[in-house]
Amino acid sequence: MLEKKSEFTIFPIPVLQDNIVWVWVHNCNAVVVDPSISSPVKKWLLNNNLSLKAILQTHHHEDHIGGTQELIKRWPNTKVIASIKELKRIPFQTFSVDNNDIFHLFDSEVKVIEVHGHTNNHIAFYISKENTKYNILFPGDTLFGGGCGRLLEGTPSQMFESLNKLNSLPENTKIYAAHEYTENNLKWALSLKSNDASIIKRLNIIQNKRKKGLPSLPSTIAEERKTNLFLRAKNITELTMLRRHKDNWKC
């Protein structure tokens, strides 16, 4: 039996080298976010007697959509929710959404937030429910623990705007990023801010978790505001310099 730990019950499935497929469970149903591959996700759902109701797709990269088509063969009534602007690159979507659209899954409201930068037409999913301690954000590859996505299609200006959108969410928002990059990102941040007490403290906590085989995520908006240099960037120029430095940095 799955253990319900909070108002939102969300479980990680680590896949590939560093991807995390998040599974949001409600009663006997599940929503899967960015399934890189199908086999471990299908096995996890079947082992826990869950029916797949929806798949959330943040963007078109293969390590985020690669498992979707096999999953919908097993659960053909599954909604595949993706950006209407990505009909060519995510052609199997069945429920198309646009910026600021709101829809409902289970008993929660889900808002679509367009976050250009890593790719064009990248979206994040923000989930809120009344009388809960936390809200939920699935940012895909836009916001990571201690970092942000590489600018593969977008511009620094777009990423700066996207991060500001996410930074405007309530500080108690839990962030379920799509990759296990936190430790590496914090080591990089510490190379630039060697005396930053908040970064040092968080890195120690994360390293202890990873040694125990635990995920570093979710984090929170409050935590990222303290330790994520990209969220702390005051302008586009600073973000551009940080992104270039991170792209060329070797751990």
Q: Is pLDDT at 5 greater than 50 in this prediction?
A: no
In the chain, % of residues over pLDDT 90: 93
Among 25-29, 35-39, 126-130, name the one with the lowest average pLDDT: 126-130
CATH number at residue 158: 3.60.15.10
Number of domains in the chain: 1
Can you give the pLDDT at residue 3?
55
| 2 in any annotated domain | no
pLDDT digits (tens, 9 = 90+) for 51-105: 999 999 999 999 999 999 999 999 999 999 999 999 999 999 999 999 999 999 9
Confidence of residue 133 (pLDDT cuts 50, 70, 90): confident
Record the pTM.
Answer: 0.95
pLDDT digits (tens, 9 = 90+) for 167-184: 999 999 999 999 999 999
| 3 in any annotated domain | no
- SS3 sequence, the chain? CCCCCCCCEEEEEEECCCEEEEEEEECCEEEEECCCCCHHHHHHHHHCCCEEEEEECCCCCHHHHCCHHHHHHHCCCCEEEEEHHHCCCCCCCCEEECCCCEEEECCEEEEEEECCCCCCCCEEEEEECCCCCCCEEECCCCEECCEECCCCCCCHHHHHHHHHHHHCCCCCCEECCCECCHHHHHHHHHHHCCCCHHHHHHHHHHHHHHHCCCCCCCEEHHHHHHHCHHHHCCCHHHHHHHHHHHHHCCC
| 139 in any annotated domain | yes
* Averaged confidence pLDDT in the chain: 95
| 25 in any annotated domain | yes
Q: Is pLDDT at 111 greater than 60 in this prediction?
A: yes
Question: 241 lies in which domain range?
Answer: 9-248
Q: Is pLDDT at 7 greater than 70 in this prediction?
A: no
